[in-house]
Structure 1
Amino acid sequence: MITEIYCVSGISGVEDHVFISSGENVRLSCNNALSDCKSKTTWIYYYSFRHSGTVALITLGIKNKDTEIHERLSLESDCSLNIKNVTEEDYGLYNCRQYVNDRQQGPDADVLLHVLHVSPSSSSSSSSSSSSQTEISPGRSVTLSCQLYSYTGYSCDDWVSSEGVELLWVNQAGVDLKTDSRYQISSSSSDQDHCIITLTTTLLNEDDNREWRCRLTHRNQLKTSVRYTVKYSAPVASTTLTPVRSSNSEKTSSRTTAAASTQGS
């Protein structure tokens, strides 16, 4: 599935900003593309705002096979860059340049890719919050960490106040879980200026098929979301959160289903 590109003006002076959830496929447009452009196109990736790290992903239409990401890349006939199965490590600034006879034609086309990712942790497991699978059981506390990985150079607070970018945990009906005292919701910024919002709650037996969604909105418009669904089967001994990809009309990018194991005799 190729996601739609959302253009947001005003952030870091870059015209195109793409919001995507991890696990999705994405297309980044080269707005200055020439006709018959594939052999003329170079895509450069800036992966560290603080340290100016760069790597050439595609040079004059040829993929750089020395990069870990190369197997997930493809170049379209319009010179847009496709990335399959986006991970949180793919966020950053992508730059498209066109060359004819070794001379650059036109300005650079810059696209900022922002990635939304959710990871679970549980008091009943020694797994870290970055684990893709966490053992849980009813009566235990579980924490879901939703993080927006962004390459803006701004702090999360500045970005939220200036551009109206917001992360929310909501239930299946879309109600903000901050209104329910059962859930502890907290927001923070990491050292890398990433936005983080965590949901912590104690699982109940009636949480069977309960769904929680982390939503990313920009000026009150939904851009992308990730959902987690817990499912029990009786008798419950333990449950496991495992990622299952899914999508819907709300741009939900992935689903995590808790598959229960039966209790041994």
Structure 2
Amino acid sequence: MVNKSNKDLLGLIFLCSLLKGASGQTDLHVFSRDGENISLPCNNALNVCTSTSWIYSKSSKSVTLFEKGIKNNDIKRRERLSLGSDCSLNIYKVTTEDRGGYTCRQFVNTKKHTDINVYLHVLHVSPSSTQTEIRPGRSFTLSCQLYIHSRYPCNNLFTSVGFELVWVNKAGVNLRSDSRYQISSSPHHCISTLTTTLLHEDDNTEWTCQVTKGNKVETSVRYTVTYSGKKTTF
């Protein structure tokens, strides 16, 4: 029987093996939010993209997005993908479905190539209430989830590598220090929820969920509460 300490060690070894590419290079982590335009770097790119392929993997499936500079016409999101002049992969209006692993494969010749792995994680915030329920006196909950590659143990990504989900107000103050807010986290599922009872002065109040590592903010999603039938904006 494997005890808890051994399980934690095995989990850490598994994560470290994922963080290293086959060539010994450290894999890249890119964080984005819904609707953002991003560019995934191909750090091993040569001078021309005709030797560059991009391969996408999610769960146990993989699909070629670009093969030696030519886009695959049989993929659903082809209109949102393009190659940059440096052979980076541009994704227009990112969604949570774009999360996963991306491999930039650079062909040196017909038999030899090098790979670099880029893992895209997408942050999403959503309310538990409908717009008509967002008013003073009501309990209000926001859910913040980081959508990641299914191969990554979410708990280890946060506890071992050091990423965190943090709620802050407009001034950047961590809301965990304010007893008015109940914040609960589920690191196994990369989710953090914020719950509070809305006050009259919360109209146009802004709360932000951030992905941080140390003092660095990797990405964030802002949510602004509005009353009187106004739309809630992101």
Shorter-chain TM band:
0.7 to 0.9
CA distance in 2, matches of 1:100, 1:154: 30
Q: Deviations over 1:161-210 (max 9, x none)?
A: 21110001111111111122221111014xxx540001111221111221
- Other-structure match for 1:77: 85
Residue 117 of structure 1 aligns with an amino acid whose one-letter code is H
Which of 33, 57, 69 is the matching residue for 2:65?
57
- Relative contact order, higher structure (CA 8 A, sep 6+): 2
Q: Deviations over 1:13-72 (max 9, x none)?
A: 242111112211111111221222x22221100111xxx111111122222222222111
CA distance in 2, matches of 1:229, 1:216: 18
2:51 counterpart of 1:40: yes
Contact 1:97 1:104 in 2 (8 A): no
1:104 and 1:95, CA in 2 relative to 1: closer, same or farther beyond 3 A? farther
CA distance in 2, matches of 1:240, 1:200: 20
Contact 1:97 1:105 in 2 (8 A): no
Identity of aligned residues (%): 58
More strand by share: 1
CA distance in 1, matches of 2:108, 2:158: 41
Residue 170 of structure 2 aligns with an amino acid whose one-letter code is Q
Residues 119-134 of structure 1 mapped to structure 2, 5 A cutoff: 119-122=126-129, 125=130, 134=131
CA distance in 1, matches of 2:75, 2:142: 31
- Other-structure match for 2:221: 226
Deviates more, 1:160-169 or 1:150-159: 150-159
More helix by share: 2
Residues 146-165 of structure 1 mapped to structure 2, 5 A cutoff: 146-151=144-149, 153-165=151-163
Structure 2 residue runs without a partner (length 5+): 1-15, 21-25
1:154 and 1:109, CA in 2 relative to 1: closer, same or farther beyond 3 A? closer
Residues 243-258 of structure 1 mapped to structure 2, 5 A cutoff: 256=234
1:98 and 1:137, CA in 2 relative to 1: closer, same or farther beyond 3 A? same
- Other-structure match for 2:123: 116
Alignment root-mean-square deviation, CA:
2.1
Structure 1 residue runs without a partner (length 5+): 1-9, 126-133, 243-255, 257-265
- Other-structure match for 2:103: 95
- Other-structure match for 2:180: 182
